[in-house]
């Protein structure tokens, strides 16, 4: 009789028969300012993938992977989305940063150029003017690719580039440039100049790109949160592969001031970077110790890292869905 009365009270008052739990409030620091390369993350939040895992997510813009890695490594943020190589280098310097999902398997660093230049391969750069971001990681990566492919640098006229690479190409100050293809390359194309590019990862550079990172102390203290967060994060990317327009709309809804044409061009190219034989077999986010070792060796060869670390400490696949 008592149970019937209780059920009647519940029905009349609208009280839920299921217990209510407070969501875990969690922040995610991105690698850069909001762009459609982050659309699957916005979709995962707005679609309820994080809430389904008991997480109230706040997405924060970044100021570069180096800054994001430091914030996570210092414990200021629980999670970050940053370049995997930056996480590796940070760990070598004592910051306890761990990757739980390598989302972009190929580094977007490229040699970009208008199609009208006729460039198809690296040796087609001979006699051309190449914009190089001197004293940067991009330059070091280019030097690695040059050496790996036995390119005669004396046959290429190199000039310094600033952040406005797209304008230099459009003004024909350079024939080609070292840049992220989905940033400067597609920006030029969205302005009306057909572009092409050679991914440095396709010509010898073994560098993973952007990954979900956390602090190893977060893993020790709350492995369940890390598992739930990684699951929702990866689900957003997996869903976006077959619902690209929905992902783009989720991003544009939250960022109405961005260029919709450029954003629409960028997202499909970014999604392609998630796909390799490894991810097709094991799912988005999966990475291998062999490729982490290859990346570390390349960083050591480039002089970006000076001391190797135990690779098993800087990444894990155990939280992947």
Full DSSP string of 58-90: EEE--S-HHHHHHHHHTTS-SEEEEEHHHHHHH
How confident is the model at residue 18, as a pLDDT? 38
* pTM, to two decimals: 0.91
How confident is the model at residue 162, as a pLDDT? 83
Spatial CB neighbours of 256, under 8 Å, sequence gap ≥ 6: none
Residues of the chain with CATH 3.40.190.10: 22-106+207-313, 109-202
- Residue 139 tokens read as 């330059």
Please determine, looking at this structure, whether the domain spanning 22-106+207-313 carries the CATH number 3.40.190.10.
yes
pLDDT < 50: residue spans in the chain: 1-19
Tell me the C-alpha distance between 298 and 153, whole Å. Answer: 20
Tell me the C-alpha distance between 273 and 107, whole Å. Answer: 8
How confident is the model at residue 9, as a pLDDT? 42
Tell me the C-alpha distance between 184 and 166, whole Å. Answer: 5
Tell me the C-alpha distance between 38 and 320, whole Å. Answer: 19
Q: Are 278 and 104 in contact (CB under 8 A)?
A: no
How confident is the model at residue 20, as a pLDDT? 53
How confident is the model at residue 163, as a pLDDT? 80
Tell me the C-alpha distance between 193 and 172, whole Å. Answer: 11
How confident is the model at residue 19, as a pLDDT? 41
Tell me the C-alpha distance between 99 and 249, whole Å. Answer: 28
Tell me which architecture the domain covering 109-202 has in CATH.
3-Layer(aba) Sandwich (3.40)
């Amino acid at each position: 009789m008592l149970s019937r009365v209780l059920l009647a009270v519940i029905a009349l008052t609208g009280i839920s028969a299921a217990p209510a739990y407070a969501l875990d409030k969690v922040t995610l620091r991105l690698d850069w300012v909001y762009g459609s390369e982050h659309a699957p993350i916005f979709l995962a939040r707005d679609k309820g993938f994080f809430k389904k895992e008991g997480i109230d997510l706040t997405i924060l813009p970044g100021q570069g992977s180096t800054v994001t890695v430091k914030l996570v490594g210092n414990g200021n943020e629980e999670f970050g989305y940053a370049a995997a190589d930056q996480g590796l280098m940070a760990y070598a310097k004592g910051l306890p940063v761990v990757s739980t999902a390598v989302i972009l398997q190929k580094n977007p660093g490229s040699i970009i150029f208008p199609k009208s230049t006729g460039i198809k391969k690296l040796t087609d750069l001979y006699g051309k003017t190449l914009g190089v971001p001197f004293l940067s990681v991009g330059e070091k990566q280019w030097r690695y690719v040059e050496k790996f492919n036995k390119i005669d640098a004396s046959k290429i006229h190199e000039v310094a580039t600033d952040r406005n690479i797209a304008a230099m190409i459009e003004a024909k100050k350079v024939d080609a440039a070292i840049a992220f293809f989905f940033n400067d390359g597609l920006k030029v194309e969205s302005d009306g100049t057909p572009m092409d590019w050679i991914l440095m990862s396709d010509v010898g550079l073994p560098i993973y790109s952007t990954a979900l990172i956390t602090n190893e102390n977060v893993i020790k203290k709350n492995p369940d949160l890390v598992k739930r967060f990684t699951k929702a994060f990866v689900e957003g990317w997996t869903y976006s592969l077959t619902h690209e327009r929905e992902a783009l709309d989720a991003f544009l809804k939250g960022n109405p001031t961005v260029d919709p044409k450029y954003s629409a061009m960028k997202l499909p190219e970014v999604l392609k970077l998630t796909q390799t034989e490894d991810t097709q077999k094991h799912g988005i986010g999966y990475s291998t110790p062999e490729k982490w070792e290859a990346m570390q060796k390349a960083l050591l060869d480039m002089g970006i890292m000076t001391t190797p670390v135990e690779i098993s400490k800087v990444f894990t696949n155990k939280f992947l869905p």
